[in-house]
Amino acid sequence: MTDIRPTIRLKPKANARAIRHGAPWVYDNEIVTDRRTKALAPGTIAVLEDEGRIPLATVAVTPASRIFARVLDRDPAAEIGPDWLRDRIAIALALRERLYAAPFYRLIHAEADGLPGVVIDRFGEVAVIQPNAAWADRLIDDLAAALVSVTGVSVVVKNAAGRARALEGLDDVSLVLIGQDPQAVAVPMNGATYVADILGGQKTGLYYDQRPNHAFAAGLAQGARVLDVFSHVGGFSLAALAGGAASALAVDGSAPALALAEEGAALSGVADRFATRAGDAFAVLEALAEEGARFDMVICDPPAFAPAKPALEAGLRAYERVARAAAGLVVEGGYLGLCSCSHAVDLARFRTACNRGIGRAGRSAQLIHTGFAGPDHPQHPQLAESGYLKALFYRLIP
């Protein structure tokens, strides 16, 4: 098999040892490129060799991308087909089945689960694939079939909305690959029931990564008046209500997301304690301050203000603004949860921005907990970027 595969070779200065030690990516400036390598179709399976032509790994190549090659298997002779895909999915499934009583989780978290660029979320009988790398887009039918055979799901959807797809030269057409269009699905999590819109919603319909942070907030929520800003389908507010919150107000710019949150509140049996407000979060925070509204807990979970390095400074200012506006709405002795899902903003920088915002609001605080993405979002040890989600929980004190 392998002898008919194209080969690509590392430049003498490239770090072959990093690949031998498990680094998942090879950048374009590390590869000897010529007309032949540049002409490889995006997603081509190839053998990566070191400068002395010793095979290092089986890789997937996208010549037009900065990430020229992604390591699929450290065995240079690995056959990337149905069996291989099934093995990878089965290994990922074993962890999730151990972690969760019900089949609602991120099943595949890309490089960390051995399927570079591939994200798969599971909603019971429904699985949603985001093939954000060309190799996976080419093998999408095999991937969908492997998913059905390993997990037993009956519906497989392809979500092509990911921003990374353009870098791989891929289209943005989402579609149902197997089974019927599932539309909205009910998802049990932390004692609440969420409603996720699989094809129309953002991301893959639900933010599983926040599950442990939802749980932490819920644990503080007994009797609390909760404000959930950037709520999406009610991530923090429905968990807080299930945890005994007196009331929750969910704020989001997306009216469809809030409509799903209302549906979730009804299914969770908490609709009488739940309200929503559609609008720009900054404007709503300001309006609430003017109205004199105060809350026992405020959570802000904005979209990535700094998805990449060039946006870092502006992103940090936006996080500080959010912290300042939100802190002003928390009663003394109340709680403030601030989240960032920006890859480019590390924990220390994010904490500094939040601390400054709280200080500028004239408030004092204790940092009581730092949360991250849940264990169904494992991190690849050599990809710092995969630790993107941070959640800081403060108690505001006199």
Each residue 183-222 as x (binds ligand SAH by CB under 6 A) or -, in order, gives -------------------x----x--x------------
User: How far, in Å, CA of 171 to CA of 221, rounded?
Assistant: 43
Tokens 């203000």 correspond to what residue? 305
Residue 207 or 394 having the CB closest to ligand SAH: 207
**Residue 273: other Cβ atoms inside 10 A:** 18
Among residues 149, 145, 143, 155, the alpha carbon closest in space to that of 182 is found at 155
User: How far, in Å, CA of 225 to CA of 371, rounded?
Assistant: 22
Out of 172, 272, 280, 385, the only residue in the binding site for ligand SAH (CB under 6 A) is 280
Residue 68 or 393 having the CB closest to ligand SAH: 393
Give the active site residue among 300, 339, 341, 354: 341
Residue 6 or 279 having the CB closest to ligand SAH: 279
Residues 6+ apart with CB under 8 A from 201: 233, 256, 257, 260
Out of 6, 244, 253, 387, the only residue in the binding site for ligand SAH (CB under 6 A) is 253
Residues 6+ apart with CB under 8 A from 200: 256
Helix H or strand E segment including 318: helix 312-327
Nearest distance, CB of residue 202 and ligand SAH, angstroms: 6
Among residues 160, 134, 177, 161, the alpha carbon closest in space to that of 40 is found at 134
Out of 230, 388, 393, 394, the only residue in the binding site for ligand SAH (CB under 6 A) is 230
Residues of span 8-47 touching ligand SAH by CB under 6 A: none
Residue 214 or 225 having the CB closest to ligand SAH: 214
Stretch that binds ligand SAH, among 49-57, 142-150, 226-234, 377-385 (CB under 6 A): 226-234
Residues of span 136-175 touching ligand SAH by CB under 6 A: none
How far from the centroid of its chain's Cα atoms is residue 196's Cα?
Answer: 15
User: How far, in Å, CA of 319 to CA of 301, rounded?
Assistant: 10
Residue 376 interacts with ligand SAH (CB under 6 A): yes or no: no
User: How far, in Å, CA of 104 to CA of 211, rounded?
Assistant: 11
Stretch that binds ligand SAH, among 169-177, 249-257, 259-267, 372-380 (CB under 6 A): 249-257
User: How far, in Å, CA of 249 to CA of 277, rounded?
Assistant: 7
Nearest distance, CB of residue 377 and ligand SAH, angstroms: 13
Stretch that binds ligand SAH, among 6-14, 224-232, 324-332, 374-382 (CB under 6 A): 224-232
Out of 105, 216, 236, 350, the only residue in the binding site for ligand SAH (CB under 6 A) is 236
Residue 88 or 214 having the CB closest to ligand SAH: 214
The closest residue (CB) to ligand SAH is: 235
Out of 58, 204, 231, 342, the only residue in the binding site for ligand SAH (CB under 6 A) is 231
Of the chain, the end-to-end C-alpha distance in Å amounts to 70
Nearest distance, CB of residue 342 and ligand SAH, angstroms: 12
Out of 168, 252, 263, 320, the only residue in the binding site for ligand SAH (CB under 6 A) is 252
CB 327 within 8 A of CB 367: no
Among residues 131, 20, 117, the alpha carbon closest in space to that of 76 is found at 20
The answer to whether the Cα torsion of 388, 389, 395, 398 is positive or negative is positive
Each residue 54-83 as x (binds ligand SAH by CB under 6 A) or -, in order, gives ------------------------------
Among residues 245, 198, 196, 236, the alpha carbon closest in space to that of 326 is found at 236
Is 341 known to be catalytic?
yes
Residues of span 293-352 touching ligand SAH by CB under 6 A: 301-303
Total chain residues near ligand SAH (CB under 6 A): 17
**Residue 314: other Cβ atoms inside 10 A:** 10
Torsion angle of the four alpha carbons 358, 209, 190, 89, in this order, in degrees rounded to the nearest 10: -170
Out of 71, 281, 288, 354, the only residue in the binding site for ligand SAH (CB under 6 A) is 281
CB 279 within 8 A of CB 208: no
Active site residues per annotation:
341
By the criterion CB under 6 A, which residues form the site for ligand SAH? Answer: 202, 207, 210, 230-232, 235-236, 252-254, 257, 280-281, 301-303
